[in-house]
Structure 1
Amino acid sequence: MTYTAWIILTAALVGMACGLVGVFLVLRKTAMMADAISHTVLLGIVVAYLVTREVSGPAMLVGGIAAGLLTAFFVQWLHSLNVQHDASMGVVFTTLFAIGVILIATSVGNVHLDVQHALMGDITFIPFQTVTLPIVGDIPEATVILLLVFLVVLFFIVAFYKEWKITTFDPALAASLGIPVLFMHYFLMGLVSVTTVASFDAVGAIMVVAMLITPAASAYLWTDKLAVMLVLSGLFGVVAAIAGYVIAFWIDTSISGSMAFATGILFMLSFLFSPKHGLIMKYIRPSKIAHST
């Protein structure tokens, strides 16, 4: 595959993995947890580096997952103390992110780990960092990791589809049926953390947040069926990856930033033209009723 194809494929995998998880964040009205976790995983990654002195490997994943779960726990804990949910997220993620930034500035030193890299990623360098696999040959390491993460996310969503559905739409009924609602919540936060950490090095926090929230929000405008929403969200993530690369190539700018911008364009198109919730349809529908009467 070409240099361009690897970049687009990697970004598309980010879009699909984030799009699937993001649907449940949007439906549960916890979309900004994506923003919180995408920033606080920096602390987990920095701590993992300080322990192992490596900027890649399983330790990064474990550190990021731990930071994501810690974020979810503190947000839930503060909310249980009657602190508003959005305020809880703001307090927790800014505090943990700030600790991560301070540790980078004071303890990390001269390594490939900084705040700019954390926010924007290094997607242009993905094709140069490869691993050799049997039969297929050399493949970018980030692409392999993101493919595995996407398959893991897809597996758990399909395997526990009924549990995700009922805990999302009626947690009280789920609890009465014996489904562990709180465990499913933290499980979802774990999947968000895994997806975020895997995407972090490649595309940065900005694009991760965009891919977690915006494709799912766009899909929400097109359908009321959960299964269709999951498919559309993943598809919108892929379209945003391709369109974002085209925009970046066209105006010679940041690829990750352009892909995040493309998700915003998709949302605006959905907001205007979706058949049920679109702004234009809201104007057309009353006029059709008026003409029929």
Structure 2
Amino acid sequence: MTLTPYAAGVLALIAVTAVACALPGAFLVTSRQSMLVDAMGHAAFPGVVLAAIVWPIGSPLLVLGAAALALVVVASAEGLSRTGLVAGDAAQGLVFPGLFSVGVILLSTRFSHLHLQEEAVLVGDPNVVAVDRLIIAGRDFGPVYCYAMGAVLLLNVLFLAATHRRLALVVFDPDYARTLGVPVRGLRGAAMALVALTLTASFYTAGAVLVIAFVVVPAATAALVADSFPRLVQGSAAIAALVAVPAFFATYWTGRPTSSWTALAYGLVFLAVHAAVRLSRRRRRSRSLTESAPAPPGTSE
């Protein structure tokens, strides 16, 4: 089947977004901070609305402004937790839903004139984003935003390639990492900055809600079978690409929402891998018990 240039652009956009989101997901899953994606998405949403007042939709400055707000609020929530007055992750539950509500109220009332829609920001729509094309000398080079997401993907790849060994130490044994001179706090801060940047950049294609699936589920699926941090990162990217592409074709043929069905496909693949891993472990355990069981009397020579 031959895709139209527009459909090919949507496919490229959803694939690049999927892989770009999956890479920082490996860090969040291994450090047990998966739901921080939800919190940061809630925090960045009002930042997107406020930044859209100053900069045009799709501007890199809009993404950077929203990401900066997400980081500021995350730092504030962590500071609230360190006071000891709020236990566990209750600080996130106090701060982020309120900010998300502020974003929805601003968008639906005072700033309703902006070219933003609540539904588009919440669940994303790559079909709309792909309308804005990069045209040079009369040639169509695909969606403009695909290049923005490509830049985010490249940044994530370069960061993980340069820091994956130290980042693994920070995740699994931060005390030992400190004894080796690894800047634990700085490395975590840089990783969280990339998470915030990736989240806000993905708002238009994955949305503030569905981006959780794009970031967390591929990494959670890869974690079921990966035996090292580098393989977890590679597996996350591979799963993201291998699921996003067929999910796009399913939505292309049926006319369903692309981001929603991609998130659903991620969930189905996770359930399938989880079931396969459990079945494999059960069979190994059963085989091990059978081999270690004592032989019946009279069977030995």
Fold equivalence (TM over 0.5): yes
Preserved CA contact (<8 Å) 2:63 2:200? yes
Offset of residue 7 of structure 1: 1.5
- Matching residue within 71, 74, 78 for 2:76: 74
Displacement after TM superposition at 1:116 (Å): 1.0
Specify the alignment match of 1:118 in structure 2: 121
* Cα contact 1:75–1:85 (8 A) shared by 2: no
**Is 1:127 the equivalent of 2:130?**
yes
Letter in 1 for 2:185: L
Q: Which amino acid is the alignment partner of residue 159 of structure 1?
A: A
Task: State which of 205, 208, 214 in structure 2 corresponds to 1:205.
Answer: 208
Match of 2:189 among 178, 186, 189: 186
Kindly state the Cα deviation for residue 180 of structure 1 after the two structures are TM-superposed. Answer: 2.5
Cα deviation digits, residues 119-165 of structure 1 (max 9, x gap): 12121123321123589753201111111110011111111222211
Partner of 2:110 in structure 1? Answer: 107
Structure 2: how far apart are the matches of 1:101 and 1:243?
A: 33
Give the superposition deviation at 1:44: 1.3
Aligned pairs for 1:1-293 (under 5 A) are 2-50=5-53, 52-82=54-84, 83-132=86-135, 137-273=140-276, 278-293=277-292
Name segments (4+ residues, structure 1) moved above 3 Å: 132-137, 249-252
Distance 1:49 1:176 in 2: 45
* Contact 1:48–1:63 under 8 Å retained in 2: yes
CA distance in structure 2 between the aligned counterparts of 1:56 and 1:283, rounded to whole angstroms: 49
Q: TM-score, normalised by structure 1?
A: 0.91
Give SS of 2:141's match. strand
Deviations 1:7-63 (A, max 9, x none): 12211111111111000000111000111112221111112123x152231321221
User: Highest CA radius of gyration, 1 or 2?
Assistant: 2
TM-score (norm 2): 0.89
In the alignment, structure 2 segments of 5+ residues that lack a partner are 293-301
Q: Where do 5+ consecutive residues of structure 1 fail to align?
A: none
Q: Structure 1 residues 156 and 134 mapped into 2: Cα distance closer, same or farther (>3 Å)?
A: farther
Number of equivalences: 288
Distance of aligned partners of 1:84 and 1:266 in 2 relative to their CA distance in 1, 3 Å threshold: farther
Deviation at 1:93, TM superposition (A): 1.5
Q: 1:136 to 1:190 in 2, by over 3 A?
A: farther
Query: For 1:23 and 1:12, how far apart are their aligned partners in 2?
Result: 17
Relative to total residues, which structure has the larger helix share, 1 or 2?
1
Shift of 1:250: 4.8
| Aligned counterparts of 1:38 and 1:239: Cα–Cα separation in 2 | 25
Matched position secondary structure for 2:283: helix
